[in-house]
Amino acid sequence: MMNIREMQVDDIVACADILCSVYNNEMWQCRWSKETAEEYLTDFFNMQKFVGYVLEEDGAIFGGLFAHEKVWWNNSEVFVEEMFVKPELQRKGYGSMLLGTVEEYISKKGLAGITLSTNKYAPAPLFYKKNGFVDCEHVIFMAKEM
């Protein structure tokens, strides 16, 4: 039976492998190396107010959620940096279980809610809307290549 537990540093290698399997494809068009994925996730893990969970069964990891508490002017919130579930287990409710665990954390701490960003051309926005998220029309994501 799948269960969710708090993430430990030893989980990063398995999570990096899953991240590569989820994003290195035509839909997401990423080209993560295992080493870069491990460094990327380790940076999140080392954040001062890190919040992280893994989806596991019999000691094997099948998904992860990397987030952190973010101070805001009226009440702190949790910002989800990365969330992924092995491709063969997607659309089975496990992503919703991971989000539910974060929601419990937020409730216990009396925080404002969850924020995140995702690719609007992927299936992810529909998943998040199904889980109660709404578009924030007053926010845009901007970038500048150098």
Identify the three-state secondary structure at position 127.
Answer: helix
pLDDT value of position 26: 87
pLDDT value of position 72: 92
Phi, psi of 33 (to 5 degrees): -90, 160
Give yes or no for residue 122 having a pLDDT over 90: no
31: which 2 tokens? Answer: 């080209």
The pLDDT tens digits for 124-138 are 999 999 999 999 989
pLDDT value of position 27: 84
92: which 2 tokens? Answer: 């089975």
Domains contained in the chain, CATH given: 3-130 (3.40.630.30)
The pLDDT tens digits for 70-116 are 999 999 999 999 999 999 999 999 999 999 999 999 999 999 999 99
How deeply is 41 buried, as exposed, middle or buried, from its count of CB atoms within 10 A (0-12, 13-18, 19+)? buried
**Is-contact 27 122, C-beta < 8 A?**
yes
pLDDT-derived band of residue 19, with 50, 70 and 90 as boundaries?
A: very high
